Amino acid sequence: MSIVLSVIGLTRYYGRIRAVDGMSFTVSRGSVFGLLGPNGSGKTTTLSMVMGSVIPQSGRFYWFGNELNSPSVYTKIGSLIEAPRFYPYLTLEQNLLIIAKIKSVGINDIRRVLKIVRLWDRRSSSYDTLSLGMKQRLGIAGALLGNPEVLVLDEPANALDPEGIADIRNIIREESSRGRTIIMASHILDEVEKVCSHVAIMKKGRIIADGPVKELLAEGDILIVSARELEKLQAVLEHSMLVTSVSRENDTLVLSLKKETSPKDINELAFHEGVILTRLEPKKKTLETQFLELVKQEPNNA
């Protein structure tokens, strides 16, 4: 799979504040790559640097194997960094016409992008009549003008209600299914888990973990077990060297396994003690759990 974006050691200071500190990552073609972190972690600054609107003090980045220094590279990328900016008393079509002219895109593309974000029926409405979610969708429509290969979105679901968040999620999924590479920054953990194929977790301008979402949600850390002799099983497990904790939830036990322990070890221990397991199920950690654990464990270097 080819690389769309390579970031190597990007650094940006604002006074004494390290907004981005030696950031490095790659984005593969066709992936949905999420920069996940709390507010102030450097997500917007990172996206602004790779889009050329903020100059890094050190490091470099490459789009499609080239530095971002030619109009031909820009035409392959559509972006929505921070809040969308439109003229409030112009219609949706009129606002997009201005963007189309700036991008040297044919006006026929306006119909296509408004249909993608489901705003074609509102094309003659003025911008200031739109809800917050509609305004965000119009911003994505502007980014999609010219049919770019890559879509860069900064907090696309920020401050939206559940319906607005669902709309943005569906648009991202649909564009991904068309083969478009999407890079998005978000502090909404659940949304990143639902739409992204890869994620980089940020804290204080640095990446503290990254990889495919499925790997960051790897099973095995937590195990749910049950048996008819539940109290006996609980006592056996609590006195074993295989788990770090045992908690009871109704008719099941939730085990936190030691790193070297496998579900097979738990099954064999129970069988050796004369207890037959009726349930043995690895439980996935949510991305939120992983995120909070990583941020808590990472030392504060500020």
Lookup result for tokens 């102030």: 40
pTM: 0.78
Give the residue with greater pLDDT, 294 vs 125: 125
The average pLDDT across 89-108 equals 95
Q: What percent of the chain has pLDDT over 70?
A: 92
Based on the structure, what is the number of domains in the chain?
1
In angstroms, the CA 168 to CA 134 distance is: 10
86 part of a folded domain: no
261 part of a folded domain: yes
In angstroms, the CA 73 to CA 76 distance is: 6
For residue 260, pLDDT over 90 is answered with no
- Confidence band (pLDDT; 50, 70, 90) for 4? very high
In angstroms, the CA 109 to CA 141 distance is: 10
50 part of a folded domain: no
The reported pLDDT for the residue numbered 200 is 93
Give the model confidence (pLDDT) of 138-158 as tens digits.
999 999 999 999 999 999 998
Rg (CA), the chain: 24
103 part of a folded domain: no
Give the model confidence (pLDDT) of 168-210 as tens digits.
999 999 999 999 999 999 988 888 889 999 999 998 999 988 8
Judge contact between 144 and 113, C-beta under 8 A.
yes
135 part of a folded domain: no
183: Cβ contacts below 8 Å, ≥ 6 apart:
5, 27, 33, 35, 47, 150, 151, 152, 153
The reported pLDDT for the residue numbered 220 is 52
149 part of a folded domain: no
301 part of a folded domain: no
CATH of residue 268: 3.30.70.100
Give phi and psi for 77, each to the nearest 5. -125, 130
The reported pLDDT for the residue numbered 217 is 64
Range of the domain at 260: 222-283
Angstrom CA distances, 136 to 82, 117, 150, stand at 10, 10, 18
Highest mean pLDDT among 27-31, 254-258, 297-301: 27-31
In angstroms, the CA 139 to CA 159 distance is: 15
Burial tier of 43 (Cβ tally within 10 Å: 0-12, 13-18, 19+): buried
**42-51, 89-98, 123-132, 244-253 — which is least confidently predicted?**
244-253
238 part of a folded domain: yes
Provide the sign of the torsion angle of the four alpha carbons 189, 195, 200, 204, taken in this order.
Answer: negative
The reported pLDDT for the residue numbered 289 is 72
The alpha carbon of 225 is separated from its chain's Cα centroid by a whole number of angstroms, namely 32
The average pLDDT across 94-110 equals 94
